[in-house]
Structure 1
Amino acid sequence: MKSMAQMKCHYGLKVRIYPSDRQKKIIKINSDASRFIYNEMVAINKELMQLRRVKLPIDIVQDRIKQLTMRQNAKQMSNHYQFLEDKRIDSLTKANAIQNYRKAWNAFRKVHATGVPKFHRKSYQRILSRRARRAKQEHRPLRTSKNYQKQRLLVAKLHAQVFERRRDFLHNVSTTLIKNHDFVAAEELRSKNMLKNHALAMSIADVGWRTFLGMLAYKAELYHRQFLTVNPKNTTQACHECGFVMGTAGTEKLTLADREWTCPKCHAHHVRDHNAAQNILTKGIIKLA
């Protein structure tokens, strides 16, 4: 018997089904579980990408990387989130969600050099806007629209959860840096100017750099450490070995895509972030002196 791939023509059936209320509930539970696992995989890899940018051997960061790496399978994820142990959730639902994420990752990498796949989500914000338009069309004030108010509270709750997660991460990293170092230097990044880059505006806003610098400043005072910010000019473009600045002497400036480069003057090879960190530290020591 020939397989489907060997046949000249492929046949398929399109059938409409009418599930019972119980079946609808099971379908929804499995669909929600699949979306949750896929989004959890996205969140894990986003956090891993940020944590691996921390080049210092900080125990709390390394432990977190280990925890997140272990959680990237159906069994460990079910152990971590007990609601996934629901007997109504099919085991293949979990496995297929992880497999679909990995397929999406591979497909994403063929097109994009950096970044991670996006979340699968119910577009709560879009639903909120749609309900606001409907209430307006029906000449009903939003304060009396129950569906709108219900959706508004849901969106607010999601925003609050994202805010708390981000703040918790920034608190952990800032506390670890300050407690384990006598002196910390950082760039005086002006987020307002950086947000003018529309391609990066959303990512820059999500990181919360100004909040992070504020945490470092007050925790340095709390733990009797020294913290200061330096001018970011040429921290990424200058070679920390010889001081040569890319974009001068007929050379081209480094772009965001240039993650590694070789100095044309002293031929030192640099990892962009490590080189920038060395320049920031040097500027900080000079400013401190």
Structure 2
Amino acid sequence: KKDDLPYMMGLKLRLYPNWKQEKILWKNLNASRFIYNQLLANSWTDSRIIKNKLDKRYPIPEAYWRYDKNGKVIKKSQKRPTGLARITAQRYPWLGDDDLDSDMFTNTEVNYKAAWNMFRKVHTAGKPKFKRKSRPVQSYSTSNHYLSATVKKHGGAPSLYNGSIKFLDHNHIQLPKLGPTKVKLHRSLPTNRLVRIATVTIKHYAAGQWTVSLLLKSDEPFHQALPNTNQAVGIDLNTENFLTTSDQKQVANPHYYRALKKHLAKHQRILSRRARRAKKEHRPLWASKNYQQEKLIVAKIHQRIRNRRLNFLHETSTALIKSHDLVVAENLKSKNMLKNHALAMSISDVGWRT
């Protein structure tokens, strides 16, 4: 069972769908965004107080009541549907498309409820907002299922190879509604223990990349504890170099944004010119091929900067953790420091918050 597997690990892989699979992915992305926005739009009338008032003032007519086999009234039919039950294929026929994953509906509602819980429990998290179609990152989640008959045929225990979502070989994964899809594995899979796939999230980035993130659960730890080094270090973050340690060692600031700043500015000017030309000719930007091509180039430059910075931060933090038992850093409020226009670009470029 899921509760018997306390250890978890995230595995993020690059996904390479063909044009048919990409079409199905976009259907699920758009449907997930629509369902989330509808749940948010109905949140006020779906609240318990407002719903009870509506049920008393405007009761459901008897013509809409449903009955079971024994002729008794089904109590649910006497009350207004809320949440996901209100967003049906009868009301929105395109939600009945065969290419839509059924688990995507329930996972979207789970994510919606989690957003409200974050707002109530963590006060720094704002209210849930509507998801725009123009968001640079689009995503939807689905779930993995294990059939007892299939599990018995393949070893008798859940694994990475006998669920509804499973690895077919080193380069292909089976996904709902997509079938075998090409992926790029950057690490070896844990096969010498009981490992099951739980939830799966598929994302699309502005640079045109697709990724699939798998939540793996196991009864044993995925990583062994690091040996004690009996070493402690304090780090001071600054803009001249990335950081200075308490033993006077320095890590240089790579300045990834500054290195590509001129190249990025050049393509942003080209993008702006093409946008002005499209507006002058009364063409929408989504129909302007030249604008969309240049927009993709700008997104790829931003992605290159982001990947380089993340790689540098992960390598630096991992080196500090492996060589020390205790790492002490100051609690910087980088959000407040970004208000200083003279240091804002340098602080953002160095990536203190990450």
TM-score range, shorter chain: 0.3 to 0.5
Name which structure has the greater RCO, CA cutoff 8 Å, separation 6+. 2
More strand by share: 2
TM-score using structure 2 length: 0.31
Structure with greater helix percent: 1
